[in-house]
Amino acid sequence: MTTATFYSEESANRRKSFLLALFVVAFLAVFGYVIGYVVGLGTGNEVAYGIGALAIAIAFGLLSVAGSYFGGDKLVLASSHAQEIGPQQSPALFNVVAEMATAAGVPMPKVYIIDDPSPNAFATGRDPQHSSVAITTGLLQKLNREELQGVIGHEMSHVRNYDIRFTLIVGVLVGSIALLAQLFLRYTFWFGGGRNRDNNNSGGGGLAIVMLVVGVVLAILAPIFTALVQMAVSRQREYLADASSVELTRNPHGLESALAKLAADNESLHSANGATQHLYIVNPLKKLGGGSALFSTHPPIVDRINRLRQLTGDPPMDPAEVRQLTGLE
């Protein structure tokens, strides 16, 4: 077996995530154009309506991104019931965070604690200069220092790699698509998809019907599509952060052991929700029985551990180990 390197892992996952983000933006633009075209049916200016709606859709997405860019992290921390702490309250934690920040070459982030027995952690912010890491009390109690280094290294990798900005922006973009889909479905329900459908019988009527059908289909499929894209983006960033954590700690075994402990823990993180689940190092809702593997925000723990073992040339998990973690994320 050829031993992979964390450099190749980073390069591959960066390319995949960038392409997924472009795909979301392209879908937003196309969907906006179709909505405008359908709204303008019967006016004779369908193309102009489509172009106008396309511009409005992109502008709306950009404004939403701007709002998320400057205030999204505060909303995430507040909804997670995270409280900022100082070094005197948890010297060991601050020491590990400072150590990993130095290794990553980024400023020391703000440190938050979530009072919850479920072991988990996440990072947020718009860039390394405005970043925060949040750790549950359960994580501090159940992991040793080596494992804590692996988890914090994972989160600092999200900061260094600008995943914290990326996830906020992609989240807002897919949310914008879902909102447009709902508005379009409501419009077609109340107004029949055009001002004067009788005009569809003259020049271009066939195209108008096709565009109306395409618009309705897109509106129905958009929430499913955006959920799949968001999940795929989040999964790729987790693989990248795992590989980057190895680069920072030079010790894949710490993160490997931490992931196994987090997956096997039965405590539920009550402050997590569908809007924030993708931020955590392991899916906090999986223990509540929420979501299927298809729509999961995280790759399977078994895959993540096997990738870490591949970095060092170690054999993959044996069947007995897999049985202990199967279905947990």
Q: Which residues are catalytic?
A: 155
Give the three-state DSSP class for 204.
coil
Name the strand (E) or helix (H) holding 9.
helix 6-39
Torsion of CA 298, 267, 249, 311, to 10 degrees: -50
Q: Which residues, including other chains, have CB under 8 Å from residue 237's CB and lie 6 or more apart?
A: 13, 17, 158, 161, 163, 166, 167
Residues β-bridged to residue 112 = 84, 134
Residues β-bridged to residue 42 = none
Distance in angstroms (rounded) separating the CA atoms of residues 85 and 134: 10
Read off the tokens for 59: 């502008």
What secondary structure does DSSP assign to 175-203, as a single string? HHHHHHHHHHHHHHHHHTTSS-GGGGGSS
Closest to 188 in 3D by CA, of 150, 215, 158, 166: 215
